[in-house]
Amino acid sequence: MDLDLSTLRTGLLYFIVLVCSLCIHEWAHAFVADKLGDHTPRLQGRVTLNPLAHMDLFGTVIFPLVCIFVLSGGFLFGWGKPVLVNPSNFKNWRRDDTLVTLAGPMSNLGLAVLAAVIGGLLYKTDPRTTELFMLIIGLNVTLAVFNLIPLPPLDGGQVLRHAIQMSDETYLRISQWSFFILLLALWLPPVRWVIVTTMGLVASPIVMLYQLLAGG
């Protein structure tokens, strides 16, 4: 591991952007749940943009840092502390729980679009900001697409759970093995191709927006 100043700078930039993106993702879950009538996240102090409220020691700190400074293979991912909700507080629990679930990935897509707009407008003033804003776009598109994979307990798995009315027992059983299932799936070239292609399709119009505003 060659930890020179340039590598350290880039790694810390990746880490800071990832932590902020993960915290906004979890805040969005909590915020929408609170607005839809479930105040459980508010009582747990999760309706806040304070990163400390959403950080998971392993998923937000240790795992991402290992990806950045040890693995150095282009793979970077992480997760925040799950937001707990009580669906019985919702008026339409299946619909509202789905909206809460989708709020996380949608917040990442919104952050990517916001970065494209701000970054594109700032480009003419300081082109050096390109690295930062392209990183924000790339990481948030990755988080959005990855979280929408239909595998419990990812957000996509929760959406699938409601779509097919999966039993709690089946959901929990799959969740216990989902990390290993996901790792195995990612070793398969067709699965990686689908995920990477989807990320590219989602990122393309956002990057085009950035380029349009930047005058390129």
* Type of residue found at 216: G
Residue 59 structural domain: 5-214
Q: Is 100 exposed, middle or buried (0-12, 13-18, 19+ CB in 10 A)?
A: buried
pLDDT tens for the chain, residues 1 to 216 = 566 788 888 889 999 999 999 999 999 999 999 999 999 999 999 999 999 999 999 999 999 999 888 876 666 788 999 999 999 999 999 999 999 999 999 999 999 999 999 999 999 899 999 999 999 999 999 999 999 999 999 999 999 999 999 999 999 999 999 888 888 888 889 998 999 999 999 999 999 999 999 986
For residues 70, 155, 19 and 116, what is the CA-based torsion angle, rounded to 10 degrees?
Answer: 110
Q: What type of residue sits at position 170?
A: T
Q: What is the pLDDT of residue 27?
A: 98
Q: What pLDDT does residue 132 have?
A: 95
pTM of the full structure: 0.93
The per-residue b/e assignment along 110-128, b for 16 or more CB within 10 angstroms, e otherwise, is ebbbebbeebbebbeeeee
The first and second tokens of residue 143, run together, are: 């988080």
Do 78 and 60 contact (CB within 8 A), yes or no? yes
Number of domains in the chain: 1
For residues 149, 173, 60 and 37, what is the CA-based torsion angle, rounded to 10 degrees? 80
Residues 140 and 210: their CA atoms lie apart, in Å, by 15
Query: How confident is the model at residue 8, as a pLDDT?
Result: 87
List residues with catalytic annotation: 26
